[in-house]
Amino acid sequence: MAARRGPATLLLVSIDGFRADYLDRGYAPHLARWAAEGVRAQWMTPSYPSLTFPNHYTLVTGLRPDRHGIIHNTMWDDELGGFALSRREAVGNGAWWQGEPIWVGAEKAGLRTATMFWPGSEAPIQGVRPGRWQPYDAAVTNEARVDTVLGWLSESEATRPHLATLYFDRLDKAGHDHGPDSPEARQALGDIDAALGRLHEGLATRGLLDRVNVVVVSDHGMAPLPPSQLLDAESMVAPEDARLVASGESVGFAPLPGRREAAEAQLLGRHPHYECWRKQALPAHWHYGQHPRVPSIVCQMDEGWAAQPRAVAEKRRQMGMRGAHGFDPALPSMRAVFVARGPAFARGRVLRPVDNVDVYPLLTRLLGIPSAHTDGRADTFNAVLVTE
């Protein structure tokens, strides 16, 4: 085989909501092929809370949400105001995004980067955006996303990105709308896996299979959420005593002025289906509660339960079985996937479970750039990397 020119390109792929056990159920044969041709972890443990934006940003910074500031999909900052996935002006405001994502480090090192919808990539972080980025658009098909990335990777050495990212969201949506074990979720996963097959064929046709290191991850898993297991947030604490900051599975409350004692009396401690703590007293293994954006009181719902404002909960009870994440990251239902193949990786290796903060040090190593400060371990993947 002819020697390739230049360093291998790195492609980071996320399949939002891909639960680790899906890989062994035969639902994703193309991804299973990549695992057999490269490496996989038994599973990857997400960071707390096991939600989309916090964990996607952890994967590219190596920092816990409590450190990088994206502490929930919904947040409040006294200076910046409110943050939600639907607030495009907030998502694109670099002040929310702390730490140094991999594309910023790569750009600072003189490498070219291109991102496809990765959370955080729409904002200038440290004043830096990816060389190429796109505003999130759920209507873009899986095939179009793959073709865009293949177009980037097919460019000449002079313009081809050294780092590219690719993001698939439809498995997560199907899991939320119908449940993680539904035919709809399985179909969505099959469609994404077919897109991975398209990617594999495109790389092979272009002679790029041995020139691209592909790392496939997910942000979290998914658990069933029966309609009878939705609580009204107003039943947890009187609205005149505390403001609901974040709902769902990791629920945050801010006591109103002069009402802290009353709010804490209603919330703190163990309840049927959930438990609440002051932010400073959260379980240590969650590494959570120090960032000023974390609400004063955090309630963690038991697996399969959620809390929403009454109007939202009433509507969702009519929808039948759904799916949810945001539960304790240690639960099997929350386990994420890690698969990698390419010239830097050994063939047919299986790693013990890994922590998602360890992915960022791997990415910097594959790119050959300095690592910013991280909560991850640099040696987690040593055993599966080809000796340089």
Residues with catalytic function: 52
Nearest Cα neighbor of 92 from 62, 146, 138, 130 is 130
Which positions ≥6 away from 100 have C-beta within 8 Å? 61, 125, 126, 372
- The residue behind tokens 């004043």 is 127
- Residues making up the chain, counted from first to last: 388
The whole-angstrom separation of Cα 279 and Cα 296 is 5
In the chain, what are the helix, strand and coil shares in percent, each to the nearest 5? Answer: 35, 20, 45
The whole-angstrom separation of Cα 141 and Cα 192 is 10
The helix or strand, by DSSP H or E, that contains position 265, with its residue range, turns out to be helix 260-267
β-bridge pairing 9-15 and 212-217? parallel
Token digits for 104? 């910023």
Token digits for 48? 């707390």
The answer to whether 240 and 36 have CB atoms below 8 angstroms apart is no
Give bridge partners of residue 81 from the DSSP assignment.
Answer: 77
Interior/surface letters 34-46, b for 16+ CB within 10 angstroms, e for the rest = bbebbbbbebbbb
